[in-house]
Structure 1
Amino acid sequence: MDLSLLEELNAERAARRAAVVVTELGSGRQRLVKAAAVEADPLAPQLAEALRTGRSGMLTLGNERLFLAVEVPAPRLVITGAVHIAQALAPMARLAGLDVTIVDPRTAFATPERFPHVEVHAEWPDVVLPRLGIDAFTAVAALTHDPKIDDPALIEALARDCFYIGALGSRRTHATRLDRLAEKGVPRETLARIHAPIGLDIGAASPAEIAVSIVAEIVGELRRRPAADKRASEPAASGQAA
């Protein structure tokens, strides 16, 4: 690989931006296509699909054979709330390939003992999330039911265009949350990105079952597949309290 192309690719990696290295197998020529430039590229459909799946592979166009080397940042999950659901969710998310971080200012809950093998920050979300650099390859799950903790996390996640944003609570709780965030200046159309009640509607009741529903919904968003519609009935099927 040409040194200048490698330096450019490494800069994209360091900034957690996706890119594809396109190699012409016949000539050996290579070029770098950054995620922001995919739509304008002649290979836009193929590149978009490669980025969606995160898989490298061969591509044949007529007599030309290409290799698409996909560079996608590792997906992350930031959980606000070191609660029982988070204790089940963290290991499940790690098994699904997500780097997991717990954020909760309550030092009695946010401990390494309760969350082994997971990065834990016993700090307020509005302090730690900007430092973590959450981005479009980050999922955020707000699980505390405490507006002082969850609201700043949701606002930051929306501002950073996180690929998945979910919040625990019933539809009534979420309606109140939306009003509260709207009063803080978040546009209603932006607030519509929040998945609430969090998780797929699988009738989950226990913390572990709710965690399963959350991981499934996150993976669905990550792979750009539409999640199953949630029922409009109350209470939330995942047993989330108001």
Structure 2
Amino acid sequence: MRLDLLQALNAERAARRAAILVTALDGSAQRLVREAGIGADPLAGELAARLRAGKSGLAEGGNVFLTVHVPPPRLVVIGAVHISQALAPMAALTDLDVTIIDPRTAFATPERFPDVPLLAQWPEEALAALPPLDRYTAVAALTHDPKIDDPALVAALRAECFYVGALGSRKTHAKRVERLAQAGLDEAAIGRLRAPIGLDIGAVSPTEIAVSVLAEIIAALRKAAP
């Protein structure tokens, strides 16, 4: 790889931005396509599909190899609740880097969340201490408490996280929408919030709800927008 391409790739990786290295198999050419520039590339469709899958491989036609560099996806869970106890280990099995945030120290204990980064802080404090939210971060708000959930939701929607979901009924969500609008979010940003959270699979128990949430997160990460 040319030094200039390596330096450009390292800069994208340091900034948690995706990029794809396109290499001609005959050695005649090599270029780096940044995520923001994929739409203008001759291989736009295939590059976008590779980016969603996070997998490198031969392009259609077999004359170039696509090396995909995608930031490791993260999941920030707001609320050290029963759903979170089930969600955290399942999400880790799918290679999501999980962090739990909850200022309520009675819930946010290492005994309830072994081997999971746990911040017993208000979201504003905790998020300031973590790497910035970005397009490769999912945020799931599960406390039912606006004082805890809302600041995280506002931050996640402003950061254009690839997934933002919140627990609660449709009635609860209607009130939430009013609060988010008062916080300065526009209709398009609020429209990206998944609420009620999770795929509609008829989930009842905390574990089943966790399954529905994780499935929705994976779909948001891997599937093309309609």
Counting aligned pairs with the same residue, the percent is 62
Report the equivalent of 2:26.
Answer: 26
Following superposition, the deviation at residue 60 of structure 1 comes to: 4.5
- The structure-2 alpha-carbon separation of the partners of 1:60 and 1:221, relative to structure 1 and needing over 3 Å to count, comes to closer
Following superposition, the deviation at residue 225 of structure 1 comes to: 5.0
Report the equivalent of 1:116.
Answer: 114
TM-score (norm 2): 0.95
Following superposition, the deviation at residue 116 of structure 1 comes to: 1.4
Report the equivalent of 2:221.
Answer: 222
Report the equivalent of 1:58.
Answer: 58
Report the equivalent of 2:169.
Answer: 170
Query: What residue ranges of structure 1 are gaps of 5+ in the alignment?
Result: 228-242
TM-score (norm 1): 0.89
Tell which deviates more after alignment, 42-51 or 87-96: 42-51
For residue 86 of structure 1, the aligned residue among 59, 76, 84 is: 84
* 1:197-212 → structure 2 map (5 Å cutoff): 197-212=196-211
**CA–CA distance in 2 between the matches of 1:140 and 1:27?**
42
**CA–CA distance in 2 between the matches of 1:60 and 1:197?**
39
List structure 1 segments (4+ residues) > 6 angstroms apart after TM superposition.
Answer: none
**CA–CA distance in 2 between the matches of 1:107 and 1:131?**
18
SS of residue paired to 1:204: coil
RMSD of aligned residue pairs (Cα, Å): 1.5
The residue type equivalent to 2:116 in the other structure is V
Q: Say yes or no: does 1:14 pair with 2:22.
A: no
- Are the counterparts in 2 of residues 220 and 226 from structure 1 also a CA contact under 8 Å? no
* 1:228-239 → structure 2 map (5 Å cutoff): none
- How many residue pairs end up in the alignment? 225
Following superposition, the deviation at residue 44 of structure 1 comes to: 1.3
Following superposition, the deviation at residue 8 of structure 1 comes to: 1.5
* 1:104-183 → structure 2 map (5 Å cutoff): 104-132=102-130, 133-183=132-182
Following superposition, the deviation at residue 181 of structure 1 comes to: 1.3
